[in-house]
Amino acid sequence: MHDIEPHFRWREYYTAEEDSRSPFTGRVYSEFEFTNKLYNFYIHPQWDAFGSSTLYGKLLFVDYEEGYAMMELLGEWNDTLHNDIMFLKRNVVDTLMHEGIYKFVFFCDNLLNFHASMDDDYYTEWYEELLDEGGWVALVNIRPQVEEELHDAHLDRYLFFGEMYNDLVWRNQKPAIVEQMLETIIHSGIKRLN
């Protein structure tokens, strides 16, 4: 786990620790000290903790003018035991929404598992807050077992994910191109199941 590094190619365009509007402003990173763990495994020190003990992220890009943010995830999204959606919503998303962000992209290439809770209040709240702004949440490149669990929990009512969002080549693109690709997919007439 310690050698899985967050995407770094977009650092020339944006760094969350230098953005005064970011929930990660002022963070200092070490290349050599490993402090955060995912279960018994140390993770690369560039990943950001935001309250969860199993889910970490890296805010890769934010465009305040266009109203979107892109974040890479690592670990296990566990709403059952750890209420990870609460930490993500309160400690990351709410801060960004306060700054005018209403479109969210989560790169899930390194998201290993998802465990749903019986309660979808945070997803409902987030969806309703974004609805007025024409916003959305897209999960990109999720693993089959994660997608299955998300479907079983009926989270496709609130989030965009699935075949059209998988196998998206994003790492060698500029952030604006990725956002445009997702806008095209989202507005192509594919509807959420309600």
pLDDT band at 189 (very low <50, low <70, confident <90, very high): low
Percent of all residues in the chain with a pLDDT value above 90, rounded to a whole number:
82
pLDDT band at 155 (very low <50, low <70, confident <90, very high): very high
The one-letter code for the residue type at 147 is: E
Give the Cα separation of 100 and 69 in Å (integer). Answer: 10
Domain ranges in the chain?
Answer: 9-186
Residues 11, 175: contact at Cβ < 8 Å?
Answer: no
Give the Cα separation of 151 and 94 in Å (integer). Answer: 25
Q: What is the CATH number of domain 9-186?
A: 3.30.750.24
Percent of all residues in the chain with a pLDDT value above 70, rounded to a whole number:
95
- Asked whether residue 74 carries a pLDDT value surpassing 80, the answer given is yes
Q: Which two tokens stand for residue 81?
A: 């035991």
Give the Cα separation of 114 and 127 in Å (integer). Answer: 19
Q: What are phi and psi of 24, to 5 degrees?
A: -110, 15
pTM reported for the whole predicted model: 0.94
